[in-house]
Amino acid sequence: KQYKVAVVGATGAVGEVMLSILAERKFPVGELVALASERSAGEEVKFGGRDVVVQDLATFDPTGVDIALFSAGGSISKEYAPKFAAAGAVVIDNSSAFRYDADVPLVVSEVNPDQVANRPRGIIANPNCSTMQMLVALGPIHRKVGIERINVATYQSVSGAGRSGLEELGRQTGALLNFQQAEPERFQVQIAFNLIPHIDEFMDNGFTKEEMKLIWETRKILGDDSIQVNPTAVRVPVFFGHSEAVNVETKVKITPEEARELLKTAPGVEVVDERKPGGYPTPVTHASGKDAVYVGRIRDDLSHPRGLNLWIVSDNIRKGAALNAVQIAELVVAER
Ligand code: A2P
Ligand code: 11C
């Protein structure tokens, strides 16, 4: 069977990669509909070597769409995803609009693929990029020895903020190298040659929403509300690829050697862990443009008898967003 597939936000940083991954993985697309705002209606986007004309989401009739991949922000998802679902489409939503609703599954394809079937509203949520890559690596460890607590500091690239984030890092870097001012627009303060410990809005408890997503989503995806997560999320001047320094406390001790062996065969994971210069993953040398979640620097926690340290790097636009959404779509079509 061939499917009518809609990509909402097709001109965005994630939407563009959704289109290329659908083509790359030979998803059975009969008809591809590219949707965005009226600003880009009439423009063309690439899909598998063809040009597809972008249509205006606001005036598009979703009747007949089988699968809709949404990545145009939370407010667009809130308004339009239920309309697509009511018209019969399975919606795979990359925003945070529905992630915490009990009747919407939140799925990492390697970790809880069985949850895809649990979708009374016809909507499946795609996790936030920082949770996604962390759980591709930690899911197998949790299954094997049980995780009690996760301490994580993230190093998140500007592409997480969309096309305007990429443009801002480029523009500011160019300006500063030419001894000009770098005014912040998309980010709160200068991002070029800087770090910003602030992603998404502040919550009443002093955490940012990006940090709270790591807590809420980890518990929902692993199906265990007892897991403690202590996150700090930081934006860094990297174009593609989020990195995470992760410390886990497990119920049963797992040695670095055991963790390395376990992760070597874990789906979606590549272990890069040699104790020499360059023997670890970085966004530029390993992750950018690639599908895997790379894990390195696996070592004991000298301060805790059941602690383990890992360094986890992945392309936030691919596994962190577009790739997992397409993998969910693959699980949906495999049901039929
Ligand atoms: P557009 O290019 O027409 O603004 P990014 O995350 O890279 O900034 O991309 C956001 C995506 O969401 C773009 O494809 C953008 O389309 C789309 N989008 C933003 N606002 C709307 C809207 N009101 N209706 C439909 N799509 C929207
Ligand atoms: C970032 N993680 O890096 C964000 C982007 O909840 O889907 C994705 C936000 C989300 O800025």
pLDDT tens per residue, range 236-255: 999 999 999 999 999 999 99
Which amino acid, residue 66? D
Q: Where are the beta strands (DSSP E) in the chain?
A: 3-8, 29-36, 44-47, 50-56, 67-70, 90-93, 123-125, 147-156, 228-235, 242-250, 269-271, 293-300, 307-314
For residue 160, give the DSSP letter.
G
Pocket-forming residues, ligand 1, beta carbon under 6 Å: 9-13, 15, 36-37, 39-40, 57, 72-73, 76, 162-164
- Among the options 129, 142, 198, 286, which is catalytic? 129
CA distance 281 to 316: 14
Structure tokens at 201: 């809005």
SS3 161: helix
How far apart, in Å, are the Cα atoms of 49 and each of 6, 10, 290?
Answer: 17, 15, 20
**Cβ proximity of 315 and 289 under 8 Å:** yes
Q: Where are the beta strands (DSSP E) in 60-186?
A: 67-70, 90-93, 123-125, 147-156
pLDDT tens per residue, range 267-281: 999 999 999 999 999
SS3 17: helix
Structure tokens at 227: 């897991």
Q: Give the closest residue (by CA) to ligand 2 atom 10.
A: 128
Does residue 336 have a pLDDT over 90? Answer: no
By most ligand atoms within 8 Å of CB, the mutation choice from 33, 76, 164 for ligand 1 is 76
Q: Give the closest residue (by CA) to ligand 1 atom 2.
A: 11
Does residue 80 have a pLDDT over 80? Answer: yes
Q: How far is CA 267 from the centre of its chain?
A: 16
pLDDT tens per residue, range 198-217: 999 999 999 999 999 999 99
Structure tokens at 182: 């770098």
**Cβ proximity of 33 and 61 under 8 Å:** no
Q: Does the C-beta of 55 come closer than 6 Å to ligand 2?
A: no
Q: Residue 147: its pLDDT value, please? A: 98
Please give the number of the atom of ligand 2 that sits closest to the Cα of 200: 11
Q: Does the C-beta of 162 come closer than 6 Å to ligand 2?
A: no
Q: Kindly give the distance from the C-alpha atom of residue 75 to the centroid of ligand 1, in angstroms, as a whole number.
A: 11
| β-bridge partners, 247 | 151, 309
Q: Does the C-beta of 199 come closer than 6 Å to ligand 2?
A: yes
| Confidence category of residue 97, pLDDT binned at 50, 70, 90 | very high
Q: Minimal CA–CA distance to 10: which of 21, 23, 22, 19?
A: 19
Ligand that lies nearest to the alpha carbon of residue 238, given by its number in the listed order:
2
Q: Give the closest residue (by CA) to ligand 1 atom 23.
A: 37
pLDDT tens per residue, range 23-35: 999 999 999 999 9
Structure tokens at 22: 């659908």
Q: Residue 48: its pLDDT value, please? A: 95
Q: Does the C-beta of 172 come closer than 6 Å to ligand 2?
A: no
Q: Kindly give the distance from the C-alpha atom of residue 11 to the centroid of ligand 1, in angstroms, as a whole number.
A: 7
Ligand that lies nearest to the alpha carbon of residue 106, given by its number in the listed order:
2
For residue 239, give the DSSP letter.
S
For residue 182, give the DSSP letter.
-
Q: Residue 228: its pLDDT value, please? A: 98
Q: Does the C-beta of 13 come closer than 6 Å to ligand 2?
A: no
How far apart, in Å, are the Cα atoms of 156 and each of 70, 168, 242, 246, 292?
Answer: 22, 15, 4, 14, 17
Q: Does the C-beta of 159 come closer than 6 Å to ligand 2?
A: no
Region of 240 on the Ramachandran plot (φ > 0 left; ψ -120 to 50 alpha; else beta): beta
pLDDT tens per residue, range 221-240: 999 999 999 999 999 999 99
Cα-trace Rg, the chain: 20
The percent of residues above 90 in pLDDT, for the chain, comes to 100
Q: Does the C-beta of 161 come closer than 6 Å to ligand 2?
A: yes
Structure tokens at 90: 């399975």
Q: Residue 207: its pLDDT value, please? A: 98
Does residue 190 have a pLDDT over 80? Answer: yes
Residues with Cβ < 8 Å from 179, sequence gap 6 or more?
Answer: none
SS3 328: helix
- Calculate the average pLDDT of the chain: 98
* pTM > 0.95: yes or no: yes
Q: Give the closest residue (by CA) to ligand 2 atom 9.
A: 128
Please give the number of the atom of ligand 1 that sits closest to the Cα of 8: 26
Active site residue 129: yes
Q: Residue 323: its pLDDT value, please? A: 98
ipTM tops 0.90: yes
Residue 113 CB-density burial (10 A; 0-12 exposed, 13-18 middle, 19+ buried): middle
Q: Does the C-beta of 160 come closer than 6 Å to ligand 2?
A: yes
SS3 158: helix
pLDDT tens per residue, range 105-143: 999 999 999 999 999 999 999 999 999 999 999 999 999
CA distance 104 to 214: 17
